[in-house]
Every structure is written in structure tokens, then in C-alpha cells.
């Protein structure tokens, strides 16, 4: 990275296992003047934790820029927090600083980087270093192919309406439902109604040391799980060898 490479990097650090950070992501993180990341109100950052070993090897005098955004505040206040953060990032870039913004999973897949890039890219150079997504990590940890042959797949948030989730379950062979944990009782009801409960596997903290897998979701029907969880729904009977 040359000293004139003034870029705001969205760096995917993958789903949790530090060994799933790409070589390119590690290089960009180590060489950045400033490493930025979102924190919760307690100052905790999942993305920073994932990259902690890489950060130990960062260039000397590297600074950090924690950006506190509580997802429990309304969208208007979240937007104001992104406005403030992007002004700060732009000011640092005008001073000649290169910034690596750490993103859990992939930056452009439901990532906070998207909302900062939207505010910064008209004025400064933005680049993305892709990361392994939670959906790919779940597929690997569950040893379950996402799609084979002519199957279709949809990714949906559990914040969608009941109708949209029901329609998606009825239409697609494979469905990944993100942000699942807090919505589990409602999701189980929808899965049962769609006849897809037996197709469903649950995973939380995929590839973290605290990973938990539940292959029979009726075991968790009344329990809520953490935000970092998802459901992977795939056909029980699959045509692996069609002629």
C-alpha cells in the first residue's frame, strides 16, 4: 500500500474463525493507518475480536476508530450515527489516512459498511475486500450444500412479514433465514405451517468457539437464541445424481 493510497476499505473478516480471514484482508488491516469498526454500547465489537490476532501484527502507530451504534435505537438515530461517523472518516481521509473498516462476514452482505460507503464514495475512494459470509459458513459447518443442480435459493431476514416468509418457504428449495434467534418461536410456527420444519437446521455463532448446531428445530421451539444465528432450510430429498 503506498502512502498516497487514500482509501476507505470495507474489509470482510469472515464469520468468526480467525483462520477464515483472507490473506488480502489481513494485509490491508495490518497496513492501514486507522482501523475502524462498529461497537455496541459496551464497546464490544465482533469484527474486531475476529481480527484480534491480525491486529497484533499491525504497523506501529496504527490508530483505532470505534464507532458506537446501538441497533436498539430507531433508524433515524442510526442514520445520524452513520452521518457523524462518515464525517469523521472523511476528515481523516483528507489528512491522508487510509482506513480499514472491519466487517463481520462480507462487507456488502447486510454489512454496516454499506451505509458508510453510501455517504463516502462520492468524495473518496472506497474498496471492498470480500469475506466469507455467515450463510457459506453455516453450509460448511452443517455439511449441507446450499444448492445443487436446478435448485433455487433465497436469503431472507426474519424481520420480514409472516406472509413474505411463508411465500419464500413455499417457493424456494433452499432458504436461509438470518437474524433468526430472537424470532425462533414465530419462525417455528411458520416452518410448521409451510411443511418445512423437517428441512430446517439451526446454527448460532458459526465457526466461533461458541458455535451451536441444532438439527431438529422442534427441540428449540419455545426458546429464543442470539442475534448471531440463522436457519438453513434445504430439501430433505435431493437429486444428487440426475441423468
Ligand X SMILES: C[S@@+](CC[C@H](N)C(=O)[O-])C[C@H]1O[C@@H](n2cnc3c(N)ncnc32)[C@H](O)[C@@H]1O
Residues in contact with ligand X by the rule CB under 6 A:
15-16, 104-106, 109-111, 133-134, 137-138, 178-180, 203-208, 227-230
Nearest residue to ligand X, using CB? 105
State the minimum distance, in angstroms, from the CB of residue 144 to ligand X: 14
Closer CB to ligand X, residue 137 or residue 191? 137
Closer CB to ligand X, residue 5 or residue 118? 118
State the minimum distance, in angstroms, from the CB of residue 181 to ligand X: 7
- The whole-angstrom distance between residue 129's C-alpha and the CA centroid of its chain comes to 14
State the minimum distance, in angstroms, from the CB of residue 128 to ligand X: 12
Alpha-carbon span 13 to 53, nearest angstrom: 12
> Which residues are CB-neighbours of 123 under 8 A, at least 6 positions away?
90
State the minimum distance, in angstroms, from the CB of residue 79 to ligand X: 16
7-12/125-129 β-pairing: parallel
231 burial type by CB count under 10 A (0-12 exposed, 13-18 middle, 19+ buried): buried
Alpha-carbon span 149 to 238, nearest angstrom: 9
Closer CB to ligand X, residue 120 or residue 180? 180
Nearest to 10 by CA among 30, 21, 27, 25: 25
Closer CB to ligand X, residue 92 or residue 181? 181
Nearest to 144 by CA among 53, 45, 232: 232
**CA angle in degrees (0–180, nearest 5) for 119-123-125:** 95
State the minimum distance, in angstroms, from the CB of residue 126 to ligand X: 16
Closer CB to ligand X, residue 110 or residue 115? 110
Amino acid at each position: 500500500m503506498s502512502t498516497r493510497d487514500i482509501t476507505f476499505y470495507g474489509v470482510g473478516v469472515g464469520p468468526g474463525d480467525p483462520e477464515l480471514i483472507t490473506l488480502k484482508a489481513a494485509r490491508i488491516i495490518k497496513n492501514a493507518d486507522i482501523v475502524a469498526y462498529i461497537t455496541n454500547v459496551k464497546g464490544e465489537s465482533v469484527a474486531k475480536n475476529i481480527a484480534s490476532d491480525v491486529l497484533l501484527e499491525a504497523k506501529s502507530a496504527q490508530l483505532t476508530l470505534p464507532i458506537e451504534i446501538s441497533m436498539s435505537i430507531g433508524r433515524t438515530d442510526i442514520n445520524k450515527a452513520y452521518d457523524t461517523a462518515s464525517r469523521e472518516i472523511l476528515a481523516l481521509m483528507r489528512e491522508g489516512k487510509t482506513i480499514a473498516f472491519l466487517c463481520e462476514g462480507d462487507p456488502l452482505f447486510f454489512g454496516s459498511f454499506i451505509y458508510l460507503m453510501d455517504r463516502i464514495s462520492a468524495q473518496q475512494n472506497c474498496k471492498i475486500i470480500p469475506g466469507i459470509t455467515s450463510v457459506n459458513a453455516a453450509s460448511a459447518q452443517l455439511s449441507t450444500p446450499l444448492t445443487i443442480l436446478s435448485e433455487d435459493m433465497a436469503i431472507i431476514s426474519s424481520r420480514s412479514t409472516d406472509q413474505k416468509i411463508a411465500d419464500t418457504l413455499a417457493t424456494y428449495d433452499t432458504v436461509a433465514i438470518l437474524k433468526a434467534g430472537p424470532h425462533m418461536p414465530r419462525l417455528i410456527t411458520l416452518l410448521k405451517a409451510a411443511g418445512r420444519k423437517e428441512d430446517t437446521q439451526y446454527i448460532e455463532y458459526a465457526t466461533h468457539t461458541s458455535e451451536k448446531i441444532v438439527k431438529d428445530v422442534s427441540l428449540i421451539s419455545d426458546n429464543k437464541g442470539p442475534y448471531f444465528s440463522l436457519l438453513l432450510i434445504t430439501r430433505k430429498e435431493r437429486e444428487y445424481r440426475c441423468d
